[in-house]
Amino acid sequence: MEKVSLKINNDKHLSKPIEINSRYDKKQKEKIADAAKQFESLLTSMMLKSMNKTTGGMFGEEGYGSDLYSTVFEQEIASYISETKSLGIADVLYKKITGEKLAPELRFRRSKQISQIEIKNESVQPDSTKVAPSSESLKRLQKYDDHINEAAQSFGIDKNIIKSIIMAESAANNKAVSSAKAKGLMQLIDSTATDMGVRNVFNPKENILGGAKYFAQMLRQYNGDIKLALAAYNAGPQNVQKYNGVPPFEETKNYINKVLNYLNHFNESEQ
């Protein structure tokens, strides 16, 4: 029996890669890649936190503010791993969704988790009369600029949002205590302070870092909708969920309006 030779033009069949007509455009792919990396970063952070429990945290159990700084440091390490070395989780998720390999330009692109959170433009306008901060409160606020800038960079939120929350919450009074026992510049209740790793709520740096961390979580939870994030900060995320939006509380509505007015004030003062 004669051997049958098959003539295959390798160049014809293999020179060009298979083309994938993706249903996602460039912008959508960037968002999917960011989300995949954020998920990988979150899992990495959880792993680091679990490992650090056996040693009392990265900075030990007795260090001043060690809980808060351990959390910040864990997040930064997790983000760095996700952005550089990678555990491969983001790659698997990206391919599962798009059917394509996660390209290097997307893998090493700085994601929203470690850059500034994107705010929805339609949610930043106040609903009623203008409110401006007093000159005395602005003078007090200036003392905390370094802590505010650090918090903004650590958690990816605009420094002016942090300033506006501080002004609405305490008028930059570090010793402020509300009737609900919320304390300090960003008026943290004890349970939230504990969750955010704050040991001394009256320490300006700890309070600002803890409050900014919590607000950043709310902002991400509500996809950059600042009104919903502020509503959750003021009335609790359970009430936002209950009413499927901003709760119908006058206090919460006035609070949101005040913060947004202050935000406009700080933004305009920079122009």
Residue predicted with more confidence, 75 or 27: 27
- At 26, the amino acid letter reads K
Reported confidence tier of residue 67, pLDDT bands at 50, 70, 90: low
Catalytic residue check, 61:
no
Task: List pLDDT tens digits, range 137-165.
Answer: 999 999 999 999 999 988 889 999 999 99
pLDDT greater than 80 at residue 216: yes
CA quadruple 201, 205, 208, 210: dihedral sign: negative
Task: List pLDDT tens digits, range 30-42.
Answer: 888 878 777 776 6
Residue range(s) of every CATH 1.10.530.10 domain in the chain: 121-269
What does each C-alpha distance from 199 to 63, 80, 120 come to in angstroms? 10, 27, 33
CA quadruple 42, 45, 47, 50: dihedral sign: negative
Reported confidence tier of residue 109, pLDDT bands at 50, 70, 90: low
Q: What is the pTM of this model?
A: 0.61
Percent of the chain with pLDDT over 90: 43
Answer for the pair 171, 189: CB distance below 8 angstroms, yes or no.
no
Residue predicted with more confidence, 42 or 14: 42
Q: Please tell me the predicted confidence (pLDDT) of residue 114.
A: 41
Counting Cα atoms < 13 Å in the Cβ hemisphere of 26 gives 2
Options 105, 169, 250, 268, the catalytic residue:
169
Task: Answer yes or no: CATH 1.10.530.10 is held by domain 121-269.
Answer: yes
